[in-house]
Structure 1
Amino acid sequence: MAVTTTKMLQLLITATFICVASGKITVQIMNMIGYDKVLAIDCRSSDDDLGQRTLLYGETMKWRFKPNFSKTTLFHCDARWEADVMLQIHFIAYEYMKDHYGCGSDCRWLFTINGVYAYDSKNDSWDFRFSYS
């Protein structure tokens, strides 16, 4: 019995390692604020600085990465654009412990005039996350 339990535990650890080591995540941020609204976005993790990107209406910023083995991968972003005044927000674009089960391997963000939405792949819908005020 102990041998079977040990083998099952080894198999589970190996399967977890393979899944984490081979699975890539895609994060996308799309500007749908308005035809004349430019979204400046700057994203980084503790290991990677993706630099600042300027997204015109309809454009998307996209990156792929492998989560670290310790399951602490975190990408955060600063976004800003001008409405009647300059608006700026800071948000977490990917956090392993939340998004591994939430968006899976395809995490999408949609900036609109009303606020920011995140894609829910399980329900094939866009969920409102936060407003700009």
Structure 2
Amino acid sequence: MSNLSLVLLVLALCMISEPLICNAYRLHIENGFQRALLGAHCKSKNNDLGLHLIPAHSEYNWGFAGNFLRTTLYFCDLSWEGGHLTFDVFHYDEHFLKTYCPHPSSDCRWRAQEDGIHAYNFGTRMYDFVYKWRPPHP
């Protein structure tokens, strides 16, 4: 099979398949603090998005297409005056995708708050507490 034929086959599958093969996603990192600034340094194996300083009640977001092999992984290091944490914000896991990044929205929403990191649960329409902050760097 030629390279062109293979590309056309993959594109056709993306157009007619469930989003499990070629879905586009948008990740949101929300600053839920009253006044504190949130630092967010997010990256994947191939894409360093750099450090973003997110003001209170604002967000940073980006879009991407998951790869065909379903190995796309993004992680973020979030920090503020009260703590820091590095964690996966996107990975291919059926429960994670169904609960936090469902199709057709394919939005994944994370919120930093004083008590820790929360993820938006599309089933309950509420934020779930997921991670506790680690103490600030000395």
Report if TM-score (shorter chain) is over 0.5.
Answer: yes
DSSP-derived class of the 1:128 partner: strand
Instruction: State which structure, 1 or 2, has the greater radius of gyration over its C-alpha atoms.
Output: 1
CA displacement 1:72-121 (0-9 Å, x = unmatched): 110001111113xxx22101111122532222211100111121110011
Gaps of 5+ in 2: 1-12
Gaps of 5+ in 1: 1-13
Counterpart amino acid of residue 116 in structure 1: I
Report 1:88-127 matches (<5 A).
Answer: 88-98=84-94, 99-103=96-100, 104=102, 105-127=106-128
Aligned length: 116
**CA–CA distance in 2 between the matches of 1:18 and 1:80?**
33
2:62 counterpart residue number: 63
**CA–CA distance in 1 between the matches of 2:88 and 2:132?**
14
**CA–CA distance in 2 between the matches of 1:97 and 1:16?**
18
Q: Does 1:81 align with 2:77?
A: no
2:53 counterpart residue number: 54
TM-score, reference length from structure 2: 0.76
Tell me the CA shift for residue 20 of structure 1.
2.3
Tell me the CA shift for residue 33 of structure 1.
2.0
TM-score, reference length from structure 1: 0.78
Distance 1:114 1:41, change over 3 A: same
Contact in 2 for aligned 1:72/1:97 (Cα 8 Å): no
DSSP-derived class of the 2:21 partner: helix
